[in-house]
Amino acid sequence: MITIYKSLFKYRLAVIITLHAIFPTLSLLISFLLRFDFTLGQGNYPRLFFLSLPLNVVIFLIISGMFNLYQRIWRYVSVDDLKDIVKASALASLIFMFMITFSGQFIGYPRSVYVLNFAFFIVFNGGTRFTIRLFRESFIPASDTAKNVLIIGAGTAGNEIVKTIKAAKKKEYIPVGFIDRDKSLHNKRIQGLKVFGGTSLIKYVIRKYRIHEVFIAIPEATNKTVQNIINASKIPEWDLKFKIVPSMLDIMSGKLRINQIRDVSIDDLLCRPNIKLDDTKVRKQLAARTVLITGAGGSIGSEICNQVASYKPSRMILLDSSEVSAYHVDLELKKKYKDIAIHTIVGNILDNGFMDLLFRKYPPDYIYHAAAYKHVHLMEWNPLACLKNNVLGSAVLASLAERYGVKQFVMISTDKAVNPKGIMGISKRLAERVVLERNPSGTLFNVVRFGNVLGSSGSVIPMFQKQIRDGGPVTVTSPDTKRYFMSIPEAVQLVLQASTLNESKAIFMLDMGNPVKIVDLAKNLIELSGLRVGEDVEIVFTGMRHGEKIEEVLLCEQEDVVPTGFDKIRVQKRNHHDPDRVERFIHDLKSNVELGNMRLIYNDIKELIPEMTGPDFEEIQQRMFN
């Protein structure tokens, strides 16, 4: 059966034209048979039939060509195709009737044949197409390269994606049908495809129609909705991939096209809705200002650069110690924002003379300080470099901000600064104190503290993705490890929004929902790659490394938070400030780092971070001294 089908497909046009010649032949024949009780009639009627038959065939073939019926893909026949078949049949029937009536060669031609002929045109032409489609969907398997696709969402986006798939020259996908929660659409057909029902039927449809990929055609779907769809689709033995159709706003604006379907990313699996903040005040604050961004080439820093640039500052200073990172962000921004003066500087914030020269040449109004060493386990073996860069670097920048009258200084911090268990967390906690505990000045100093950022260079996601590409195993420290997660754009929105709250010496935090288990994140990422956990890629638990905690928190026990004017942002203001002690610590840290005197550094840390007690801190002490 399959061999016959492939042979017919090879000579597709010839077969289709032959069928279009057979349709009017059968139409006229059956019309006469019905008119004359299953005979061609008596007397002159058989002659009229045979004389008019070639005319009927020729007219129908010509009109079918005019309506492009030969070029239609029968396996995708739809209501639109049926409309064209009706129009072609009506026009062919009218021309046929006109020529029979006014030629003078067909005296006594039965008038009922015209109507029957028209009706059978539609029955044979449309019925054959729908029969072939039904036959193919039921008995003919997809080619080796084409993928069966189930579309979630029968709205505008779903409708458009089906049209795009059908119009594609290369048939990479075969749309099978829709799933939609709207009960009024269930069992209806859109573009000739059935709306099977709600999400409870997803697994049934996947098995029955051998679905390879699921297209989520709900562009405005929340992360929770995407997660629910993925969970409802999971079949242990099934290799299934998910893609998301871009939003219609992006499509209409020209930013994206409907066929630019993206893979489901791990950002879509945050266990809460995406956070959107009001940027009206941010726009007003940054417009026509000079903004300095440190660590501009990093994952967080580069996103800050992009979002700040969208608010049209007059000047941007992009500072990074990495030439390669600085080059990439410079190239991207200057291509997109030609009306902004962008100065990309390669340099180190620890270089006092260099930084002073930079501030004198381009005095900034706002500083977003994202430069930091942040890889936890690496910093455990490089404590002096970590403390020097994260703490002393922040101190240099804060002093220059005061000296040159910067309006606001916002530092990026981390939940690892709370009850720190490693050098990186300690350095960020000390940097927070260095920035916040200062003598009064005209500069507002604030800290933004948040959890892990999905996709950043320090995130587990890039590591998991590489391990999956390499065939595994994916390494997770513990089955109980939990972390707060947010996307990079969310993190940057928080940073920019916090700078508009007109607070000073405050720590801002985002309501990030519930923490996520790292092992669940790893499983989702493996499955989204079309692989199976335990069969294609193993998950191996390696045990906790130095400096890591089972679960992060955003607040110390002695810290209290209060809500702000923005629903998702909370603020914590420290009551205890000791700028003189912090200033002495900075002075001592400079010399102790140069001398490598870890014992004195440890004593200062113990005094400045009072919660650093117990076995964990003793372990840190041993690592620092060794």
Helix (H, G, I), strand (E, B) or coil at 173: strand
- pLDDT on residue 615: 57
Burial class (CB in 10 A: 0-12, 13-18, 19+), 509: buried
Compute the distance between CA of residue 368 and CA of residue 413 in angstroms, rounded to an integer. 11
Distance CA 272, CA 472 (A): 29
* Strand duo 241-244 + 262-263: pairing: antiparallel
Q: Which are the contacts of 156, defined by CB distance < 8 A and separation ≥ 6?
A: 248
Question: For the chain, what is the mean pLDDT?
Answer: 80
578 within 8 A of 514, measured Cβ to Cβ:
no
Q: Residue 182 pLDDT > 90, yes or no?
A: no
Catalytic residue among 374, 416, 482, 549: 416
| pLDDT tens track for 365-420 | 999 999 999 888 888 889 899 999 999 999 999 999 999 999 999 999 988 888 88
**In the CATH scheme, what architecture does the domain 280-620 have?**
3-Layer(aba) Sandwich (3.40)
DSSP type of residue 440: -
- Stated as kind and residue range, the H or E segment containing 330 is helix 323-336
Reported as a single tens digit per residue, the pLDDT across 37-67 is 888 888 788 888 888 888 889 988 898 888 8
Q: Specify the 3-state DSSP secondary structure of 619.
A: helix
Q: What percent of the chain is modeled with pLDDT above 70?
A: 78
Average pLDDT over residues 485-513: 80
CA distances to 273, 274, 277 from 224, rounded to whole Å, are 6, 9, 19
CATH 3.40.50.720 region(s) of the chain?
147-264, 280-620
Percent of the chain surpassing pLDDT 90: 26
- pTM greater than 0.75 (yes/no): no
Q: Interior CA angle at 240 toward 453 and 224, to 5°?
A: 45
Query: Domain spanning 147-264: which superfamily?
Result: NAD(P)-binding Rossmann-like Domain (3.40.50.720)
CB within 8 A of 594, min separation 6: which ones?
A: none
Average pLDDT over residues 328-342: 93
Give dist(CA 421, CA 232) in Å, integer. Answer: 39
416 carries an active-site annotation: yes
Distance CA 24, CA 55 (A): 10
Q: Which residue has the higher pLDDT, 122 or 13?
A: 122
Between the CA atoms of 138, 140, 142 and 148, what dihedral angle is there, to the nearest 10 degrees? Answer: -10
